[in-house]
Chain A
Amino acid sequence: MKWWLTLALCLTACSRTMPEPAPLAEEIRVGSPFPNLLLPDLDGRAASVAAMRGRKLILHIFASW
């Protein structure tokens, strides 16, 4: 690709407002990392599933009802 074409495409793309991030729906896929979300634990401290790596993990997404 010509350098000036690359630059023009970049300028066009970069000048746009950054879009809203897509919602993390249905992103739990076999073969991929678990969605890398930072969530509070029950005491309000920041926690993540990624920080639990190192052991095999069974994760239950649930509600007590």
Chain B
Amino acid sequence: MHVPGWHEQTLKLQQEGRLAMAGIVQEQHPDRARLFMQWKRMDWPILVDSLNLLGVQVVPLTVAIDEHGIVRATGIKLADAARFAEEFVNTSYPAPAVLVVPPPPPDLHATSPRASADDVFLWGGIGRVSEVIASYRKIRDADAPVLFRLGVAYRARYDSPHREPGDFQAAVDHWQQALDLNPNQYIWRRRIQQYGPRLDKPYPFYDWVPAARREIRERGEEPAPLVVEPGGAEFASPAKQLQAAAGPAEPDPGGRIHRDEMPFVLVEQTVVPPAVAPGATGRVHLVFRPNTARQAHWNNEAGDLVVWVQTPDGWEIDPRRLTVPNPPLEVSLEPRQVEFEFRVPTGAAEGDTRVAAYALYYVCEDENGVCLYRRQDLQVRIAVAR
């Protein structure tokens, strides 16, 4: 791996105080980088650039900066790390005519709308994320980076207590709009692929997390906590084809389970990418949350949450049956997420297709103190577009 390899090959120079290392992460969830750093025992400063303010289009990108703050080399390969580092520390560079000074403190009253939205996102706290979204929305026609940052802000709100329905889909939609304007922006593409179908994945994104936690615990340390646990798409490996043929039994084929009319459980759906071409694949994320307005919670003493997805003619669905195991608690309120992939038939017409699905779950509600087994029918809207 590029960065741990650099760390290992330059460790002696770092320990001698002749070379410093630092990082700038381009992730939506920087706490995952903290876990990664702990796992690889890389104890150096990390800056967070979730908005891609640097405008880098590829990672990893290794940059050598001299003691005066001047860039001396970029894109240095891991294979050259040891040789380059030795030469770099032994080279004297003249001081520039104008000294590099650190930037001024954050200014939450910047006059430029974009700078203001960026600063409030970075420094204003998650409580102001809706304000950031409103600011980016006003200028989203400006250019692709604003669309990307708007997507980042939507996803940040989705991960926060300030979540509003549709935030995750809005994030994906805006990332896709940005990418459509600049299809060579690798950072933006990865943000979509992180949640997208396996046929479009370059590699698994966060499959290293379980191994990292295990190894850290074996060392007697406590792994750095993650604010948002990676989901199915983020663990999934790339695939060459769907496994649509394997078919478990449908759990409620006759539709005999009573419907959740209240509803006691709220469902949010997100399709990645937001529009899928005929013959291509996509991934659907369904998140189920107990409706706290109904004082509902999961009844974990009963069965697991089960989701069944119907297959429209000519479509492939993988998997059709999904299950979320109950946690080892009598009751709980956590969101439960399932993901499935689909392939649009080659000859499909453009427009919206509704894929029918349903969820079966056990909930209790505190108003009357009853526990119920309920079915909720869903319609997943998938946009087909060439």
Q: Is the interface of A mostly helix, strand, loop or mixed?
A: loop
B71 touches A32 (CB 8 A): yes
Total interface residues on B, CB under 8 Å, equals 77
Q: Considering residues A28, A36, A63, A64, which has the most beta carbons from chain B within 10 angstroms of its beta carbon?
A: A64
Q: Could you say which residues of chain B place their CB within 8 Å of the CB of A8?
A: none
Contact with B along A37-52 (1 / 0, CB 8 A): 1111110001111111
Interface stretch (choices B23-31, B274-282, B312-320, B347-355)? B23-31
Contact with A along B202-225 (1 / 0, CB 8 A): 010110100000000000000000
Which residues of chain B from 24 to 76 have any CB-CB distance to chain A below 8 Å in the complex? 24-27, 30-36, 45-49, 53-57, 59-74, 76
Q: Considering residues B45, B66, B71, B203, which has the most beta carbons from chain A within 10 angstroms of its beta carbon?
A: B71
A30, A33, A52, A58: the one contacting B62 at CB < 8 Å is: A58
Contact with A along B101-114 (1 / 0, CB 8 A): 11111100001111
Known A-B contacts A26-B55, A42-B48; the reply to A61 vs B33 at CB < 8 A is no
B26, B88, B102: the one contacting A50 at CB < 8 Å is: B102
A55 touches B46 (CB 8 A): no
CA distance A15 to B278 in the complex (A): 52
B47 touches A39 (CB 8 A): yes
CA distance A15 to B175 in the complex (A): 36
Q: At the interface, yes or no: B20 with Cβ under 8 Å from chain A?
A: yes
5 extra A-B contacts, CB within 8 A, seeds A25-B55, A55-B20: A34-B70, A36-B100, A42-B48, A53-B67, A55-B17
Known A-B contacts A23-B143, A63-B25; the reply to A53 vs B69 at CB < 8 A is yes
Known A-B contacts A26-B55, A63-B33; the reply to A52 vs B122 at CB < 8 A is no
B22 touches A57 (CB 8 A): yes
B60 touches A60 (CB 8 A): yes
Closest to A47 in B: B47
Q: Which 8 A-B pairs have the closest CB atoms?
A: A25-B55, A64-B36, A65-B205, A53-B69, A62-B60, A39-B47, A51-B102, A61-B61
B17, B55, B71: the one contacting A29 at CB < 8 Å is: B71
B17, B25, B57, B88: the one contacting A62 at CB < 8 Å is: B25
Minimum CB–CB distance from B236 to chain A (whole Å) comes to: 12
Report A's interface with B, CB cutoff 8 A: 18, 20-21, 23-42, 46-65
Q: List 7 A-B contacts (CB under 8 A).
A: A23-B143, A33-B71, A39-B53, A56-B18, A56-B67, A60-B61, A61-B26
CA distance A55 to B145 in the complex (A): 33
Minimum CB–CB distance from B47 to chain A (whole Å) comes to: 4
B56, B102, B112, B208: the one contacting A61 at CB < 8 Å is: B56
B30 touches A56 (CB 8 A): no
B69 touches A39 (CB 8 A): no
A25, A31, A48, A65: the one contacting B70 at CB < 8 Å is: A31
A46 touches B106 (CB 8 A): yes
Closest to B32 in A: A64
A50, A58, A64: the one contacting B103 at CB < 8 Å is: A50
Q: Considering residues B19, B22, B60, B113, which has the most beta carbons from chain A within 10 angstroms of its beta carbon?
A: B22
Known A-B contacts A33-B70, A41-B45; the reply to A46 vs B20 at CB < 8 A is no
Q: At the interface, yes or no: B89 with Cβ under 8 Å from chain A?
A: yes
